[in-house]
Amino acid sequence: MIFLNINNLNVSIEGKKILNDFNISINEGEVHAIMGPNGCGKSTLANVLAGNEDYEVNSGKVIFKDEDLLNSNIEERAQKGLFLAFQYPVEIPGVNITPFLHASINSKLKNEKKPELDNLSFAKLLRKKAEELGISNDMLKRSINTGFSGGEKKRYEILQMSILNPELTIFDETDSGLDVDALRIVAEGINKFKNPKNSYLIITHYQKLLDYIHPDYVHVMRSGKIVKSGDISLATEIEASGYQKF
């Protein structure tokens, strides 16, 4: 089975080309990191994979679990097991976390033709996962991301990931805006729920997050394509001398 294969993907927004013959393959259980300077197309990649309709896919193919991902809309991609941990999780006042997550897990289970979770089973699952991440019950009573600190928002993204248990998680600059302690807490959360059957694509500027998560592969992205691939030592090289040499 092809888990994820992106082949010659070209993407533009409002006529401006962002991804330029982009290629990558990720197998089941692998952890990949993509590093690159501002404006190189990292977040565009994350959003295109999640199905953001603001972007125009000009050409190329994205195969996910043997299916053409580009034929699916945003929610279908999520139901098939793709999860985007947002760089800036949006605040939605009035939409309570608990019923939202309950609807979310049930939409995935329904798609997998599995029995949906009743209120009690879901409440137990949510409490268990929240406890493991040190998220209080009070926080679960609040509206989505509303009034959360930067660290809380990212921890809440991890909580969603742990409940939905997606096969592919894309972390879009999850480390941005976090202080050292918050970064450590979030990274520990990711490691806690990292599952050898699932795959991860970590998009970041800095080595720090990768020090915690230990990716199998590190890629350098410039001008909408991957220009170099290697192991964690590539991240160390970037940290020491920047992106100019790539």
Q: How many residues bind another protein (CB under 8 A)?
A: 30
Minimum Å gap between C-beta 106 and another protein is 9
Report if residue 94 touches another protein, rule: CB under 8 A.
yes
Report if residue 98 touches another protein, rule: CB under 8 A.
no
Whole-angstrom Cα distance, residue 120 to residue 122? Answer: 5
Q: Which of 1, 90, 120, 240 binds another protein (CB under 8 A)?
A: 90
With 0-12 / 13-18 / 19 or more C-beta atoms within 10 angstroms meaning exposed / middle / buried, residue 7 is middle
Report if residue 102 touches another protein, rule: CB under 8 A.
no
Report if residue 74 touches another protein, rule: CB under 8 A.
yes
Q: How far apart are the first and last CA of the chain?
A: 33
Report if residue 112 touches another protein, rule: CB under 8 A.
no
Residue carrying the six token digits 């592919």: 168
- Per DSSP, 95 falls in state E
> Quick one: CA dihedral 81, 87, 90, 96, positive or negative?
positive
User: According to CB under 8 A, which residues from 123 to 152 bind another protein?
Assistant: 143-144
Cβ proximity to another protein, 35 vs 89, nearer residue: 89
Report if residue 201 touches another protein, rule: CB under 8 A.
no
Measured at the CA of 75, the angle between CA 38 and CA 113, to 5 degrees, comes to 140
Report if residue 160 touches another protein, rule: CB under 8 A.
yes
Q: Which of 79, 169, 198, 204 binds another protein (CB under 8 A)?
A: 79
**DSSP-derived pairing of the beta strands 168-172 and 82-85:** parallel
Q: Which of 36, 41, 51, 215 binds another protein (CB under 8 A)?
A: 51
Q: Which whole-number Å values give the CA distances from 102 to 36, 89, 121, 196, in the listed order?
A: 36, 18, 10, 25
Report if residue 52 touches another protein, rule: CB under 8 A.
yes
Cβ proximity to another protein, 108 vs 154, nearer residue: 108
Cβ proximity to another protein, 163 vs 235, nearer residue: 163
Closest listed residue to residue 171, CA positions, set 137, 206, 203, 212: 203
Report if residue 111 touches another protein, rule: CB under 8 A.
yes
Report if residue 2 touches another protein, rule: CB under 8 A.
no
Residue carrying the six token digits 């990716």: 215
Q: Provide CB contacts within 8 A for 240, sequence distance 6+.
A: none
Report if residue 104 touches another protein, rule: CB under 8 A.
yes
Q: Provide CB contacts within 8 A for 103, sequence distance 6+.
A: none
Question: Among 5-13, 50-58, 131-139, 223-231, which window interacts with another protein (CB under 8 A)?
Answer: 50-58
Report if residue 114 touches another protein, rule: CB under 8 A.
no
Query: For binding to another protein (CB under 8 A), which residues are involved?
Result: 50-53, 73-75, 77-79, 83-84, 86, 89-90, 92-95, 100-101, 103-104, 107-108, 111, 143-144, 160, 164
